[in-house]
Structure 1
Amino acid sequence: MNEYELAVIGDIHGNALALDALLQCLEGRVSKYVFVGDYVNRGPDSSRVIDLLVKLSGRHQSVFVAGNHDLAFQNALEAGPLSPFLRIGGAATVRSYVPTPTGDVLEALRAAVPYEHRQFLKSMTPHFRGGGLLVTHRPNDRPTDAPASDYHVYGHQPQRSGAPWIGERHAAIDTGCGTLPNGRLTALFVPDRTYVQVSEVGEVVSSSRS
């Protein structure tokens, strides 16, 4: 593998086991990481997912696109109320920070989220552009001024086949990690558009590399 490639990583949804395994697989093999968002909710360990990403950003060039679940989490922490966040799977995220919440759950959550995690949420970006690549969370998040020639990679739409959809002009790389039975976490390599995947329990299960 070309050590100077960029890796675009799909929706994680609170699965720290899969993320940790994928990062170990990629360590030393790529020069830059770009994440499509949806780091939290539904899976069991959103807190540890953010912790792993904070640590990664201290070691490698990393870009974190904001997913709708992450923005809902940020909004709950900064403004409230909590109910819109809970309606999209936020209870799992709350439990990852406050295992046995009592009383005012929102205040308990706000007290439990570390400063570094709040800064991580503030560091998120609406999209990434560079070198002919465009990364957004959702397919319709494409900026109006993005060149049509940019290769567009996005998440948000789970691919029920378990494999990323890779076309000539765009790629969908949400492969159900944390959301679908037997979901996978995918890293797409740019520029050659090959990929590697890990399972929900952190095993490398598929690769388009020869």
Structure 2
Amino acid sequence: MGGNQARTASLSLSQARGPDGLRLYAIGDIHGRRDLLEQMHALVDEDIRRAGAADWRVIYLGDYVDRGPDSRGVLDILASLRGDPRRVMLAGNHDAAFLAFLDKPDLRGVFANNGGAETARSYGVDMNFRDYADDPDALLRDHARLVATLPGVHRQFLEGLPHCISFGDFFFCHAGVRPGVALDRQSPDDLMWIRAPFLETDQLFAKVIVHGHTISPGPVTRANRIGIDTGAVKTGRLTALIIQGGQRAFLST
């Protein structure tokens, strides 16, 4: 632990580098915007061609579902790409909340209160969460319809999502990390949910953290982190970070 802490204090964004010969793309929160995901894929493909990148990786930072109109379409695309070793899809809190709701229809959970109705509608199931408190049988019926309609490959995709990955001097996750805890000991809950303790610290970590989860008008660049959730579902702006060696740039729809 002491060695990790010493290393943590020594690395800032100005020192961070991606792996030699590898061009990295990190894509922020998609939230059911299949249209923007398709646009971003076109931008990434064009950038790969323009840069003449011999090898590359695309890291998706999670929150593929909820709020936007086509969560099913997003999962169709991402599940079809899961076998590509150059693409890494990480788990977001909304993805985990969707799985939790599929297992147990809880009206107090994230899915029921933060865009789950739009996700269900993309599967052809209308869920009126405000009415279910007075009609729990309707909740159970509609929940069963959603479970039956969900393609098995979508559930397998969501269940198989890792919570983090590292490339070079960069650590990728959905929400952030807990200060004072080694990166290899971070909890899944913190990696998907943390805000204030991470966002408010100036502490340098063992690697620079690349994350989404917390919306900002544009990419946020700090000595210890880069945030790229630009609120795609409302703004129409899906953002990707490009890293190659010590160089960084952004793509945006």
- The answer, yes or no, to whether TM exceeds 0.5 is yes
Which residue number in structure 2 is paired with residue 40 of structure 1? 65
Q: Which residue of the other structure, out of 69, 86, 98, is the alignment partner of 2:124?
A: 98
Whether 2:113 is the aligned partner of 1:87: answer yes
Q: Provide Cα deviations, 1:44-68, integer angstroms capped at 9, x if missing partner.
A: 0000001111122234522222111
Conserved? CA contact 1:12–1:19, under 8 Å: yes
Letter in structure 1 aligned against 2:240: A
Residue 74 of structure 2 is aligned to residue 25 of structure 1 = no
Relative to structure 2, which stretch is displaced further, 137-146 or 119-128?
137-146
- Name the SS for the 1:42 alignment partner: coil
Q: Does 1:158 align with 2:215?
A: yes
Change beyond 3 A, Cα 1:98–1:25: same
| Selected match of 1:190 from 224, 243, 247 | 243
SS at match of 1:13: coil
Alignment RMSD = 2.3
Is 1:10 the counterpart of 2:28? The answer is: yes
User: For the residues of structure 1 that align with 2:70 and 2:127, how far apart are their CA atoms?
Assistant: 16
2:99/2:158 contact within 8 Å kept? yes
Moved more, 92-101 or 67-76: 92-101
Q: Displacement, 1:20?
A: 0.8
Which one has the largest radius of gyration? 2
TM-score, with normalisation over the residues of structure 1? 0.83
Q: Are the structure 2 counterparts of residues 76 and 165 from structure 1 closer, same or farther at C-alpha, using a change threshold of 3 Å?
A: same
Residue in 1 aligned with 2:101? 76
Structure 2 gap ranges (5+): 1-19, 129-137, 185-204
Does the aligned pair in 2 maintain the 1:136–1:142 contact within 8 Å?
Answer: no
Consecutive unaligned residues of structure 1, counting only runs of 5 or more, are 199-210
8 Å CA contact retained: 2:219, 2:227: yes
Corresponding residue for residue 231 of structure 2: 176
The structure 2 residue matched to 1:110, chosen from 124, 136, 147, is 147
Structure 1 or 2: larger strand share? 1
> 1:157, 1:172 within 8 Å by CA — same for their partners in 2?
yes
User: CA 1:142–1:42 in 2, change beyond 3 Å: closer, same or farther?
Assistant: farther
In 2: Cα distance, 1:196 partner to 1:141 partner: 28
Q: Distance in 2 between matches of 1:3 and 1:110?
A: 43
Give yes or no for contact 1:138–1:156 (8 Å, CA) kept in 2. Answer: yes
Q: Which residue of 2 aligns with 1:201?
A: none
Q: Which has the higher contact order (CA 8 A, sep 6+)?
A: 2
Which stretch shifts more, 121-130 or 44-53?
121-130
Question: Structure 1 residues 61 and 143, CA, compared in 2 at 3 Å: closer, same or farther?
Answer: farther
What's 2:169 paired with? 132
How far, CA to CA, are the matches of 1:158 and 1:9 in structure 2?
13
Percent of residue pairs bearing the same amino acid type: 34
Q: Is the 8 A contact 1:136 1:154 kept in 2?
A: yes
In the superposition, relative to structure 1, how do residues 26 and 98 fare at CA in structure 2: closer, same or farther (>3 Å)? same
- Between the aligned partners of 1:49 and 1:94, the Cα distance in structure 2 is 13
